A = this chain, B = another copy of it.
Amino acid sequence: MTAAVPSASNDKRAAILDSALFLLANRGFHGFSIKRLAEGAGVAVGTIYLYFKDREDVINQLHGEIIRHVAGKVFVDHDTSLPLDEQYRRMVRNLWQFCVDNPETLYCKSQFDNLPPHLQRSQREDSHQIFEPLLVLYAKGREAGIIRDLSDDVLSGLAIEPCFFLVRQHLRGFIDITDEMRDTIIAASWRAISP
């Protein structure tokens, strides 16, 4: 996987972003302090500022990494020759698995998505580019009449968001979801956008 040379530089930067992921997931924006960030990364406070402009920059770059990371996993076995519902099933199962494997990333994402309007980041464009295959799927589905004629955002709200929500509840231990239930849920989410 990690093909590039893991230079010392990248090690520190990566350690800081790892620490940031952990911190944001577990303590939220409020608990995300530079001191804790440095401790978690095993570096001095000043070192943070060699790799990032300021606190804001750490958070922004973390957001970018998260988006790239998740997209890389979700479309790993994407195959446009399959039936649309099967494509959808694969994507969401990958997404689900990714969340289970990387709960901290999931928690971070929901922190970003629920920032108050004031602080909202310009994340939507990034997400759109990254999740393009899903948008293509929506378009084809609408054309073929097997997906309801609703906008991309509404479709995602009906289909993908419930999955995000339920994994989160699952990972938090609020509800228990077996593999079988997971498939039922994914099927249900597909049904929500079927005509």
Flag whether A53 is at the interface (Cβ < 8 A).
Answer: no
B158 and A189 contact, CB distance less than 8 A: yes
| A138–B150 CA distance with the chains assembled, in angstroms | 27
B148 and A157 contact, CB distance less than 8 A: no
Given known pairs A124-B174, A150-B181, the reply for A188 and B26 (CB within 8 Å) is: no
Flag whether A83 is at the interface (Cβ < 8 A).
Answer: no
A116 and B175 contact, CB distance less than 8 A: no
| A157–B194 CA distance with the chains assembled, in angstroms | 18
Closest CB-CB distance, A174 to chain B, in whole Å?
A: 6
Chain A interface main SS type = helix
Q: Please provide the chain A residues from 81 to 126 with a CB less than 8 Å away from any CB of chain B in the complex.
A: 107, 110-111, 113-120, 124
Flag whether A192 is at the interface (Cβ < 8 A).
Answer: yes
Given known pairs A162-B157, A174-B153, A192-B191, the reply for A29 and B26 (CB within 8 Å) is: no
B161 and A118 contact, CB distance less than 8 A: no
Given known pairs A157-B162, A158-B192, the reply for A28 and B185 (CB within 8 Å) is: no
Most chain B beta-carbon neighbours within 10 Å: one of A31, A120, A188, A191? A188
Flag whether A62 is at the interface (Cβ < 8 A).
Answer: no
| A151–B181 CA distance with the chains assembled, in angstroms | 10
B28 and A172 contact, CB distance less than 8 A: no
Flag whether A166 is at the interface (Cβ < 8 A).
Answer: yes
Residue from the list B113, B124, B154, B169 in contact with A166, Cβ < 8 A: B154
A188 and B193 contact, CB distance less than 8 A: yes
Flag whether A165 is at the interface (Cβ < 8 A).
Answer: yes
11 contacts between A and B (CB under 8 A): A27-B119, A28-B118, A110-B114, A117-B172, A153-B174, A153-B175, A158-B188, A158-B192, A161-B161, A162-B162, A192-B192
